[in-house]
Amino acid sequence: MRILFLTHSFNSLAQRLYIELAARGHEVSIEFDISDAVTQEAVRLYQPDLIVAPFLKRAIPEAIWREQVCLIVHPGIKGDRGPSALDWAIMNGETEWGVTVLQAAAEMDAGDIWATASFALRTASKSSLYRNEVTEAAVVAMLEAVAKFETGGFAPEPLDCNRPDVRGQWHPIMRQEDRAIDWQLDDTATVLRKIRAADGFPGVLDEVLGLPCYLYDAHPTDGLQGAPGKVIAHNNSAICRTTTDGAIWIGHLREKREGEPAFKLPAAMVLGARLTGIPVLASAQTDIRYEEKNGVGFLHFDFYNGAMSTAQCERLLQAYLAATRRDTQVIVLAGGADFWSNGLHLNLIEAADSPADESWANINAIDDLAHAIIETDRQITLSALHGNAGAGGMFLALAADQVVARAGTVLNPHYKAMGNLYGSEYWTYLLPRRVGAERAAEITDNRLPVGAASAKTLGLIDDCFAGDSAAFWHQVEALAGDLATQAPGLLAEKQAQRQRDEAIRSLADYRAEELANLKRNFYGFDPSYHVARYNFVHKVPHSRTPRHLALHRRVGVK
């Protein structure tokens, strides 16, 4: 079928649905939700069989939903209605939640129901639930709804709030007053729930050391206490604040200010001199963690939103080098739970005095890490992608000898969407060696997300493991164990191959050419990268849908 996505942005959920529908032979074209007129034009140009709205912030124009079926993905159980579905579910302590695919109608989220899927509501941030449980349930429900539509003859179920299986209800938009923390009354569990229900957007409005700001990225901690609401420590990145029965770490803040809105940054950076006199607990940095199991080293790096700053890359390089000095045969690069990596830390670059200089420092720090991984000759390296990877983060993963991904991951092996960025991380060496030069050019030019199964077919990754988190890590451990038993032979092969490759063209040469191109992106006359980064970091709404996504806007496509 020809399916038109109407969506606020091509976010991870929309990307995953796109991947799943394309894998089933459907053609999917995308239009961002810009205005009623633009939406109507898209429908006219594409003449879709079906319209799907994976992530909408505005209602679909009546002239469209009256004419043809529009399926809306709502992150709530049957009967749940309103724009803050997940926020309320977390705040209300729901233990089971779901996704409903319903037909667009006059009343928001009250249309006829095509399919639902449910999941256990994990204790996690809203964005983590959205990227994992909600996305998985949305895939199940959407595929069921699309199949019913294609077969024909299915009558969707009208919403009837008197039915016993309709547990949901209408909830208004959640306001900051609903989210507010009372530091004198709220215990750790309550504060965590409030911040998690607002993470990554809009955050909880509060005041920290006299500065009005939004709070994000909260984690519990043991053994720290004090008068409720006080900032008692920081670790040069996050701050530690007391509750009525303990303390929590808050990783990120966004200043509330007049004029140009601020964007999310590490808490200590936002507070700056306000932290003077507050004790530093450097040992409390837990974003990088190393463990060994059965002689295999696992390096975890769980950076907020998968963004890797210069300092984080430098710390990760040191942790990696320490791992290579251990008596292990395999090192697993495990990334974080939600993201393996999204490459350069665009927010910190945007905040720097010279974004060009900071981009340069950041890319060199990632390159140093990629170089160390490629040159590792004492261990077999395995990138295990439990979370999504994009841009430089995806190519960094390819620096390892083997790459595997969880079946649901969404991979974005391209840089160009960020203002025609050329990219580095030795991608000009790493990508063609896996997929060949022709396919490498296609993959990077297409600027499209790739699912783990297709990535395996393309040769971009070596394997893709189905199942939940536990099943994924079980398979990774089994593979790492196998690699360890074959290590002597594999290492000899790897060293010989590296020498042959180096003789053809040195790693230094690949890097020099990539960086020469990047220098033009960072310091040249064309500001596209700086503009794209500004728009990304400030979340400037799209003014048009790029043509690589909007098939219907390509000349000659019908």
Shorter beta-carbon distance to ligand COA: residue 186 or 217: 217
Q: Residue 494, interface with ligand COA (CB under 6 A)? A: no
Shorter beta-carbon distance to ligand COA: residue 113 or 308: 308
- The string of DSSP letters for 326-376 reads SS-SEEEEEE-SSEEE--B-HHHHHHSSSHHHHHHHHHHHHHHHHHHHHT-
Specify the stretch interacting with ligand COA by CB under 6 A; choose among 94-102, 236-244, 300-308, 547-555.
300-308
Shorter beta-carbon distance to ligand COA: residue 347 or 545: 347
Shorter beta-carbon distance to ligand COA: residue 186 or 350: 350
Shorter beta-carbon distance to ligand COA: residue 327 or 353: 353
Smallest separation, CB 345 to ligand COA (Å): 5
Q: Residue 345, interface with ligand COA (CB under 6 A)? A: yes
Of 330, 344, 455, 550, the one binding ligand COA (CB under 6 A) is 344
Longest CA–CA span in the chain (Å) reads: 74
Q: Residue 237, interface with ligand COA (CB under 6 A)? A: no
Shorter beta-carbon distance to ligand COA: residue 201 or 523: 201
Q: Residue 475, interface with ligand COA (CB under 6 A)? A: no
Joined together, the tokens standing for residue 438 give 């022709």
> Is the omega angle on the peptide bond into residue 335 within 30 degrees of 0, that is, cis?
no
Helix axes 469-485, 487-504, angle to 10 degrees: 80
**Residue 327, number of CB atoms within 10 A of its CB:** 9
Joined together, the tokens standing for residue 545 give 């849908």
Joined together, the tokens standing for residue 510 give 């690949």
In angstroms and rounded to an integer, the radius of gyration of the C-alpha atoms of the chain is 24
CA distance 393 to 306: 8
The interface mask with ligand COA, positions 182-221, x = CB under 6 A, is ------------------xx--------------------
CA distance 379 to 55: 43
Shorter beta-carbon distance to ligand COA: residue 154 or 201: 201
Q: Residue 340, interface with ligand COA (CB under 6 A)? A: no
Smallest separation, CB 95 to ligand COA (Å): 25
- The string of DSSP letters for 248-296 reads EEEEEEEE--SSSPP--EEHHHHHGGGGTTSPB-GGG--SEEEEEETTE
Q: Residue 342, interface with ligand COA (CB under 6 A)? A: yes
Shorter beta-carbon distance to ligand COA: residue 218 or 421: 421
Of 7, 100, 235, 305, the one binding ligand COA (CB under 6 A) is 305
Closest C-alpha to 299, from 410, 362, 402, 381: 381
Smallest separation, CB 490 to ligand COA (Å): 29
Smallest separation, CB 355 to ligand COA (Å): 12
Q: Residue 16, interface with ligand COA (CB under 6 A)? A: no
Shorter beta-carbon distance to ligand COA: residue 4 or 307: 307
Specify the stretch interacting with ligand COA by CB under 6 A; choose among 104-112, 410-418, 520-528, 542-550.
410-418
Q: Residue 419, interface with ligand COA (CB under 6 A)? A: no
Q: Residue 452, interface with ligand COA (CB under 6 A)? A: no
Q: Residue 156, interface with ligand COA (CB under 6 A)? A: no
Whole-Å CA distances, 339 to 270, 335, 386, 405: 24, 7, 7, 11
The CA-based angle 217-220-225, given to 5 degrees, is: 120
- Identify the helix (H) or strand (E) that includes residue 32: strand 27-32
The interface mask with ligand COA, positions 98-137, x = CB under 6 A, is -----------------------------x----------
Closest C-alpha to 51, from 13, 103, 109: 103
Smallest separation, CB 127 to ligand COA (Å): 6
- The string of DSSP letters for 98-116 reads EEEEEE--SSTT-S-EEEE
- The string of DSSP letters for 136-201 reads HHHHHHHHHHHHHHHH----PBPP-TTSTT----B-PPPPHHHH---TTT--HHHHHHHHHTTTTT
Cβ 179 vs Cβ 216: under 8 Å: no
Of 194, 264, 300, 552, the one binding ligand COA (CB under 6 A) is 264
Closest C-alpha to 518, from 437, 399, 422: 422
Of 335, 392, 408, 451, the one binding ligand COA (CB under 6 A) is 392
Of 89, 208, 391, 460, the one binding ligand COA (CB under 6 A) is 391
Total binding residues toward ligand COA, as defined by CB under 6 A: 23
The residues binding ligand COA (CB under 6 A) are: 11-12, 127, 200-201, 264, 305-307, 342-347, 388, 390-392, 412, 415, 418, 421
